[in-house]
Every structure is written in structure tokens, then in C-alpha cells.
């Protein structure tokens, strides 16, 4: 069992408070609850839950007095960390105390080799100390407590007077995290595994439903989770991304300001630079260049304006980078003095700036789900049956659509709206359009500010949008904009930095976003499952890297081993393995294929023989029936996952499969594949509307299979 490295961050804290731990991947969520409690000093006196982003599933303590929703609540002891975090970058949210709502973001950073015989939990890093914070009111209360501790001259505020005075007496230092002490506490824990039998990873057909870990077959419509990952992409080198991030004005200003604090700068009780220092920072770092009003003034006039500055928090060109520096821990305040934080990228070439940029833009994008900040009219939300807090996932939907657009191409309103409102009644579609366009407009502003996307500003459509809304609601009749044509608007095109940032954002939302090349060291079953979601170009690049990483001989062995079995999941693997096996042409690989073809291992022998036959080499013991077996197997994988998946697969493969079925329809019943009857019957049913004659021949062949088996 591998070891997982997790980063556990307490959300809504500035500067951030986080811990890094390692634990066995099979650790139950119930045990992970105990670990989080120890990491942040909680005393387990309140209810808690784990939430899986994007799925709606919640994992809770079934022994706690909690009203549970059977449609979404699961026992935390029945699920392991590995099941909920199946890939690096995956995230999970843990909430403690439903009154104070302490939210923790748990991220899988690395998968490490298993430490033989060592199942202990370890703390390998962290940032900032955590005072005893039970019942302090949540993150905002914690902020008030820490501010009061830092400013020892101010009276301790209610209702935290006793806690603040205690921390002051103890000399509590919020910047002093004791990793060794936490590591000793965690080492005493027994990371128990989940109580459920580990379920295999879900097998997905190229175009249909999935076989769930419960054993049932579901269509995508039956599932709350959006399983289909986004298109695999390649990212620019990290050094190139770091150079681009440093060109973002807000990022550049924040870094310069943080470095400017070297040696210490005095701050006020509110945690901002004292006015004289604020004026000095604006002038020395030329922060005024980011303020349209100040940059338009002559130097003498600008100096006069700055001289009247009463608080450093009153000037956006100074306050915005200052607050960002504090939030990202690039500046730390202790004893009324600000100094560079430990997370500050040290040099001009430090690639850590990319992580800082991702954190900054991610927080901005999270705000797009707050419908109130979008300025949407209440009447629109009412028409959609939504409240201001109902925006979860809307931003991710728009940003995913942008991420899906190939490199160098634009996302316009027509492309966005056409896909998302398909199948909706006309009026509902128009309402959805208005909502999504508003989100796209706000996203464009954020992405442009962080140089994550190029934006072509479209024509002003506010008047047309208002007319459409009024028309739909019956408040004012008008024909303007009511013909169903998507309104024009902004067009966006991702930069390389933006593609990297959106990938991080989607991963945070629980959306798998694979990278081409990241499967190079994966085992063959993992590769084959992933390839079902790749387009042709991406698959070709991934296959080349996977084979190159291990060599053709070992690649052939691993692929053939993964082809064993006659169940539908194995057929799906063989379907995915075919283009990988086709790339093997070296002597060692061909020797492996010949030995496998001569074996009696079901699935392995046929996959190897079909690959050799495609190269013009018919292995001994295999004849014309091999083509029939391969055709049945080709259709069995999707059918075994979901009946609708076979229909979609037949539509996708088009004329090629139809031609093969036409040629072999009268002989397929002779095929010794155990799924022959099921495949013939299903194919005949789905092809009835397209080709009645062929469908009849297939159903007749299915009848012969049944008769033959009864003999």
C-alpha cells in the first residue's frame, strides 16, 4: 500500500495555516478526521463531515447524532483516503463544527513508495501555530484573536478576552509552528484502514455509462458525479510559466513590496504600513504606475497627493499587493513589524512564484460562484429558482468550457451557450444564457488582470439582455433578442499561464484534468483506463511516452498481462490496448507477443494474435475465427458497461463497424466468445432504425447462439 503525502490547509485564514502529513493510502476517512483534529488542536467536541468536490457525496460519523440524508451521506469508516483522492492534485474538504464552520482543504500532493512495516502517520511540514480556537466563532473570530495577541497595547476584545490574555501571558507566537511536537503526537496514532473491501477503479466506456463500485450499471445521467475528465493537455515548462507570472502587475507589485520589507518595516495596529512608510513604498517601488489617477499626474502633483495619505489602506495600488502578500504568507507581521515571509520566492528565477500566482487567481475565481457579487438582478435568480448562495459549480462550468477549447482557439458566447443550454425549453435556455454570460464577463475581468487569458471585448449587450429578461418574465413585450440566437459578447483565449492556472482550479473543484505524459510511470491498467478519455492526438503522445519510459519489451509484457480475462472490463482494456500494442515493432516485443499468442490464457492469447495479424503474421493455432472473436470483443466492452454505451459506440465508429458486421453477420454465431449472444442481440436492436436488414440478420444469428448452447 503506497504512502500519501497530504497538505491540510485551514481555509479562510490569512496568513494561511497548514500542515503536511504522510499516511498509508488505505487510511479510513474516520482516522483522517482524528489526524486533522490533532493537526489543528481541535478537541472533537462538535460534528464534522468530509465533502467530495463535484459529487455531492458527504462522509460522516455514523455513530454521531446527526440527521443523515441517505442519498448523499456515507459512513466515513467505509471509505479510504485512496478512494476519495485517486490522483495527485485531488482535493477533499473537511468541515468541523457546523456552527463555526472550520473548513479544511485536503490535497494529495504526492504518492510515495510504501515504507515496509511502517504504518505511522508523520508530520513533514507546516506553517504557523494554531491556538486553541474551539468556539471562537470561526475563521473571522480566529483573526480577531490573533490580531489582539499581536497588538498587546489594545484591550482584549469580547468575547475572547480570557483566551487573548492567556495567549499573551504564554507568549504565543503565531509564526512558530512546532513540527517535531506534532510529529510525536501523530506517531502514536494507528491509521486504521477502511472497513469496506477496496473497490476497483470505475471502468468507463468511451461513450457511455459506468459500472459502479456497488456492482450496478449506471448511465451518466443516474450519477451526481461528473465523471468525464477534461481533455488531456500539455503545459509549458515551469520556468516559462514563472517568467510569465512575474509579468502580471499585481504579482510583480506584491513580490517587490514583500522584498522591500527586508530588515523590517513598522506597521499599525491594523496590520498596514505606517503612512510615512506607505508613501515611501509607493514612490520607491513605483506602485503609483498601477493607479490610473496617480500615473496621470506630474511628479510634483503626485508627491502632494501622496503627502495627504492618512492610511496605507486607503490607496488600492498599495493595499491590494499588501493584503495579497499577507494572505500568501509572503510577508509576516510580528511585534508590529513586517518582514519577508518564508514562502517569498527568493530570487528572480524562483519557480515558486507560479504556486503563488495560482493561489491568488484561484481565490479570485472562487468568488465567481457568489451570485451577489455578479450583480445579477434578483428577478433573474428568482426566475431560475436560485438563491444568492446557489452558485456552486457555475464558475467551474464556464471555466471548464474555456479550458476545453484547444490551444490558440477562442471561446465565444455562441460556443459556450450552445452547448450548455442544449435540450432546455426556450425560455429556460435564455435565462441560463443570461446567467452564464454574466459569469463569463466577470471571469474575463479576472483572467485578463492575471494575464491568464486574452480577451476580445464584444459589443455592449446590456440593453438586449434586459429586453430578453423582461420579455421572458412577461413584464415588457419585445421582439429584440428573442429569436434564440446567442447574444454576442466577449471572446477569451487562454495563455499558457492561464491553462496551467485553470487546471489547478479544476482540480480543486474535483474535476480530473490529466496531463499528457503524466502516465509515463503508471501501470498498464491505469494507462488503458485513462486512454478511453483521450482524443487521438493526445493518446498518440501519451502512448509514445509510456512505451519510451520502460522500453518495448517490458511494455509488451505489461500490456498483454492487462488483457487477461473475458469479462467486460477486460474487453475494455483490450479495446484501449489495441493502439498501444500496434506501436510495438522491436524484436523483444514481438517475441513477447508470439509467446502470448501461443498460450492458452483467455484474452491475452487473442489480443496478442490480433496484434500480430494486423502486421501480416498469422500465429499458429489462430485462423479466420480470430477476426470474429475480435469484432465481438470490440463491442462487448461498451455493452458490458451500459447498453446505451454500445449504441453510442456504434454511432461513433460509424461505417467501419457497420461494414465489418455486414460482412460477418451470418458467421458471428459460430464465434466462441462467451459474450457473442449478448452482443448480437444488442447490436441488432440498436441498428434496427439504421439498417433493418442487417439488424434482422444479427438477431437471427443471436438465436442460433442460443440454440447451439442448449444442445
- Looking at the fold, whether 9 and 47 belong to one and the same domain comes out as yes
Main-chain phi, psi angles of 58, to 5 degrees: -130, 140
- Cα–Cα distance measured from residue 437 to residue 429, given in angstroms and rounded to the nearest whole number: 12
> Sorting pLDDT into bands at 50, 70 and 90, what band is 707?
low
Helical spans, DSSP H, in 76-213:
81-84, 139-150, 161-170, 179-187
Residues paired with 339 in a beta bridge: 332
- The tens digit of pLDDT for each residue in 462-480 reads 667 666 666 666 655 444 4
- Cα–Cα distance measured from residue 604 to residue 581, given in angstroms and rounded to the nearest whole number: 12
Please report whether residue 337 resides in a domain: yes
Main-chain phi, psi angles of 537, to 5 degrees: -65, -45
Please report whether residue 652 resides in a domain: yes
pLDDT at 422 over 60: no
- The tens digit of pLDDT for each residue in 663-695 reads 888 888 888 899 999 989 888 888 888 888 988
Last residue of a domain, one of 280, 308, 343: 343
The answer to whether the CB of 559 falls within 8 A of the CB of 523 is: no
- Looking at the fold, whether 599 and 685 belong to one and the same domain comes out as yes
- Looking at the fold, whether 696 and 575 belong to one and the same domain comes out as yes
Position 242 scores a pLDDT of 93
pLDDT at 612 over 50: yes
- Looking at the fold, whether 682 and 617 belong to one and the same domain comes out as yes
Q: What Å distances lie between residue 232 and 205, 451, 499, 696, CA to CA?
A: 17, 22, 11, 40
pLDDT at 383 over 70: no
- Looking at the fold, whether 372 and 328 belong to one and the same domain comes out as no
Candidates 270, 313, 326; CA nearest to 144 is: 270
Position 311 scores a pLDDT of 92
Position 288 scores a pLDDT of 95
The least confident of 50-64, 307-321, 495-509, 642-656 is: 642-656
Number of domains, the chain: 4
Of the two residues 402 and 117, the one the predictor is more confident about is 402
- The tens digit of pLDDT for each residue in 231-254 reads 788 899 999 999 999 999 999 999
Position 651 scores a pLDDT of 75
DSSP for 391-444, written as a single string: -TTHHHHHHHHHHHSPTTPPB-HHHHHHHHTTTS-HHHHHHHHHHHHHHHHHHH
Last residue of a domain, one of 187, 220, 238: 187
- The tens digit of pLDDT for each residue in 500-533 reads 999 988 877 667 778 888 888 888 998 998 888 7
- Looking at the fold, whether 364 and 313 belong to one and the same domain comes out as no
Task: Tell me what the pLDDT averaged over the chain comes to.
Answer: 82
Please report whether residue 354 resides in a domain: no
Average pLDDT of 53-58?
A: 75
Position 384 scores a pLDDT of 53
Position 268 scores a pLDDT of 92
Position 465 scores a pLDDT of 65
Please report whether residue 145 resides in a domain: no
Position 229 scores a pLDDT of 56
Of the two residues 427 and 123, the one the predictor is more confident about is 123
pLDDT at 40 over 90: yes
Find how far residue 344's CA is from the centre of its chain. 26
Of the two residues 711 and 579, the one the predictor is more confident about is 579
- Looking at the fold, whether 563 and 702 belong to one and the same domain comes out as yes
> Sorting pLDDT into bands at 50, 70 and 90, what band is 461?
low
- Looking at the fold, whether 120 and 32 belong to one and the same domain comes out as yes
- Looking at the fold, whether 570 and 696 belong to one and the same domain comes out as yes
- Looking at the fold, whether 612 and 485 belong to one and the same domain comes out as no
- Looking at the fold, whether 554 and 658 belong to one and the same domain comes out as yes
- The tens digit of pLDDT for each residue in 68-94 reads 777 788 899 989 998 888 877 778 999
Domain that holds residue 297: 246-343
Position 278 scores a pLDDT of 95
- Looking at the fold, whether 307 and 374 belong to one and the same domain comes out as no
Amino acid at each position: 500500500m503506497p504512502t500519501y503525502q497530504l497538505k491540510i490547509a485551514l481555509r479562510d485564514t490569512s496568513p494561511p495555516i497548514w500542515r503536511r502529513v504522510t499516511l498509508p493510502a488505505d487510511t479510513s476517512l474516520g482516522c483522517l478526521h482524528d489526524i486533522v483534529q490533532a493537526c489543528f488542536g481541535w478537541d472533537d467536541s462538535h460534528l464534522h463531515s468530509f465533502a467530495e468536490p463535484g459529487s455531492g457525496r458527504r462522509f460522516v460519523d455514523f455513530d454521531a447524532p446527526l440527521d443523515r440524508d441517505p442519498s448523499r451521506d456515507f459512513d466515513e469508516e467505509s471509505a479510504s483516503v485512496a478512494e476519495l483522492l485517486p490522483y495527485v492534485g485531488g482535493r477533499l474538504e473537511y468541515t468541523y463544527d457546523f456552527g463555526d464552520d472550520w473548513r479544511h482543504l485536503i490535497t494529495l500532493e504526492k504518492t510515495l513508495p510504501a515504507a515496509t512495516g511502517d504504518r505511522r502517520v508523520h508530520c513533514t511540514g507546516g506553517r504557523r501555530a494554531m491556538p486553541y480556537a474551539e468556539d471562537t466563532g470561526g475563521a473571522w473570530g480566529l483573526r480577531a484573536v490573533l490580531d489582539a495577541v499581536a497588538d498587546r497595547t489594545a484591550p482584549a476584545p469580547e468575547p475572547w478576552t480570557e483566551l487573548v490574555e492567556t495567549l499573551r501571558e504564554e507568549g504565543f507566537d503565531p509564526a512558530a509552528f512546532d513540527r517535531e511536537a506534532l510529529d510525536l503526537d501523530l506517531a502514536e496514532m494507528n491509521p486504521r484502514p477502511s472497513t469496506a473491501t477496496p473497490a476497483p477503479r470505475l471502468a468507463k466506456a468511451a461513450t457511455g455509462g459506468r459500472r459502479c463500485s456497488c456492482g450496478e450499471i449506471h448511465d451518466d445521467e443516474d450519477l451526481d458525479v461528473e465523471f468525464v475528465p477534461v481533455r488531456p493537455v500539455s503545459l509549458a515548462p515551469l520556468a516559462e510559466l514563472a517568467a510569465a507570472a512575474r509579468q502580471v502587475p499585481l504579482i510583480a507589485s506584491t513580490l517587490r513590496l514583500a522584498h522591500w520589507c527586508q530588515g523590517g518595516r513598522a506597521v499599525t495596529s491594523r496590520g498596514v504600513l505606517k503612512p510615512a512608510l506607505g508613501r515611501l513604498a509607493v514612490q520607491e517601488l513605483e506602485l503609483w504606475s498601477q493607479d490610473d489617477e496617480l500615473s496621470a499626474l506630474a511628479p510634483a502633483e503626485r508627491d502632494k497627493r501622496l503627502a495627504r495619505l492618512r492610511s496605507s489602506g486607503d490607496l488600492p495600488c498599495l493595499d491590494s499587493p499588501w493584503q495579497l502578500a499577507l494572505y500568501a504568507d509572503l510577508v509576516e507581521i510580528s511585534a508590529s513589524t513586517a518582514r519577508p515571509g518564508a514562502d517569498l520566492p527568493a530570487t528572480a528565477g524562483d519557480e515558486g512564484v507560479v504556486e503563488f500566482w495560482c493561489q491568488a487567481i484561484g481565490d479570485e475565481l472562487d468568488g465567481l460562484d457568489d451570485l451577489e457579487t455578479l450583480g445579477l438582478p434578483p428577478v433573474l435568480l428568482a426566475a431560475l429558482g436560485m438563491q444568492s448562495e446557489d452558485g456552486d459549480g457555475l464558475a467551474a462550468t464556464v471555466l471548464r468550457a474555456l479550458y476545453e477549447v484547444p490551444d490558440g482557439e477562442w471561446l465565444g458566447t455562441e460556443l459556450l451557450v450552445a452547448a450548455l443550454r442544449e435540450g432546455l425549453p426556450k425560455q429556460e435556455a435564455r435565462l441560463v444564457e443570461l446567467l452564464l454570460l454574466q459569469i463569463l464577463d466577470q471571469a474575463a475581468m479576472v483572467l485578463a488582470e492575471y494575464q491568464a487569458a486574452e480577451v476580445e471585448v464584444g459589443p455592449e449587450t446590456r440593453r438586449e439582455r434586459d429586453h430578453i429578461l423582461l420579455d421572458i418574465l412577461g413584464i415588457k413585450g419585445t421582439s429584440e433578442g428573442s429569436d434564440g440566437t446567442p447574444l454576442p459578447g466577449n471572446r477569451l483565449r487562454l495563455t499558457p499561464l492561464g491553462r496551467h492556472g485553470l487546471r489547478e482550479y479544476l482540480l480543486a473543484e474535483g474535476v480530473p484534468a490529466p496531463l499528457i505524459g503524466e502516465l509515463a510511470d503508471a501501470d498498464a491498467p491505469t494507462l488503458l483506463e485513462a486512454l478511453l478519455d483521450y482524443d487521438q492526438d493526445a493518446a498518440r503522445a501519451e502512448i509514445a511516452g509510456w512505451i519510451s519510459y520502460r522500453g518495448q519489451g517490458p511494455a509488451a509484457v505489461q500490456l498483454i498481462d492487462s488483457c487477461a480475462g473475458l469479462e467486460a472490463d477486460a474487453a475494455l482494456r483490450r479495446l484501449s490496448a489495441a493502439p498501444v500494442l500496434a506501436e510495438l515493432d522491436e524484436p523483444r516485443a514481438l517475441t513477447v507477443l508470439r509467446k502470448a499468442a501461443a498460450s492458452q490464457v483467455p484474452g491475452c492469447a487473442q489480443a496478442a494474435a490480433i496484434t500480430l495479424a494486423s502486421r501480416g503474421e498469422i500465429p499458429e493455432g489462430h485462423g479466420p475465427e480470430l477476426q470474429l472473436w475480435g469484432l465481438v470483443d470490440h463491442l462487448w466492452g461498451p455493452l458490458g458497461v451500459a447498453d446505451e454505451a454500445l449504441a453510442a459506440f456504434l454511432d461513433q465508429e460509424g461505417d467501419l463497424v457497420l461494414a465489418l458486421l455486414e460482412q460477418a453477420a451470418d458467421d458471428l454465431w459460430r464465434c466462441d466468445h462467451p459474450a457473442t449472444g449478448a452482443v448480437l442481440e444488442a447490436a441488432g436492436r440498436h441498428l434496427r432504425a439504421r439498417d433493418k436488414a442487417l439488424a434482422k440478420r444479427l438477431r437471427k444469428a443471436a438465436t442460433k447462439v442460443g440454440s447451439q448452447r442448449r444442445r
